[in-house]
Amino acid sequence: MEQYRTSANVTHLHLRLAALATSATPDSLIAAVEPFRDIPEVAGPIYERIVAAQPANARALVILANAYWLAGRGPDVVGELAARARAADPSNRGAWHLWALSEPSPRRRVERWRTVCQTFLDDDLARANLADNAASLAGAEHDPAALQLALETYGELRDRATHPQQQSALDQAIATLRTWKV
């Protein structure tokens, strides 16, 4: 990794990772890549091998999907991996988040975030994504129902917020949305 950080040579990094991964077990790969799992150039190729060896490992599928998303692989491949992870472990929130995030249709993405919120009642990150996507839909399509959903969801987040900065940001978002004419 140090050599990659100084050279930024992705090809060389992938060749080194492939050489290391050839004789390693999936569990040893998981342990070795853990500190670098948020670096798509590292996580992608290693987790491709892990997922090939453990196709029902929901955590591995989510990490690979996230690496692909960060690398710009697109919603189709990410959505497929997220769907596999959800099937393997319906309680994996990361799988649900990537499933919602990877939906290309803004309207269907709002519905997916709503489903995630209904599945994980205490998931404020999903709730924030629902509110943000509903507000975006309201602005893009002049949709009063989406605007109402955004206002209600930001209101729920405001009710749950404990930090003054969060409360202030949510108050500002709500005030701004209340001025919209859709």
Q: How would you class 32 by CB atoms within 10 Å of its CB: exposed for 0-12, middle for 13-18, buried for 19 or more?
A: middle
Rounded Cα distance, 125 and 116, in Å: 10
Asked if 67 and 156 sit in the same domain, the reply is no
Rounded Cα distance, 109 and 106, in Å: 5
Q: 163 is in which domain, residue-wise?
A: 107-182
Asked if 96 and 167 sit in the same domain, the reply is no
Angle at alpha carbon of residue 62, lines to 86 and 82, rounded to 5°: 40
What is the largest distance, in Å, between two alpha-carbon atoms of the chain? 61
Asked if 139 and 55 sit in the same domain, the reply is no
When divided into structural domains, the chain yields a total of: 2
Rounded Cα distance, 112 and 118, in Å: 10
What does pTM read for this prediction?
0.87
Rounded Cα distance, 94 and 134, in Å: 20
Q: Find the CATH number of the domain harbouring 40.
A: 1.25.40.10
Asked if 76 and 135 sit in the same domain, the reply is no
Rounded Cα distance, 141 and 146, in Å: 9
- The counts of H helices and E strands in the chain are 11, 0
Sequential pLDDT tens for the chain (182 residues): 566 556 665 776 677 778 787 888 999 999 989 988 888 888 889 999 999 999 999 999 999 999 999 999 999 999 999 999 999 999 999 999 999 999 999 999 999 999 999 999 999 999 999 999 999 999 999 999 999 999 999 999 999 999 999 999 999 999 999 999 98
Asked if 39 and 22 sit in the same domain, the reply is yes
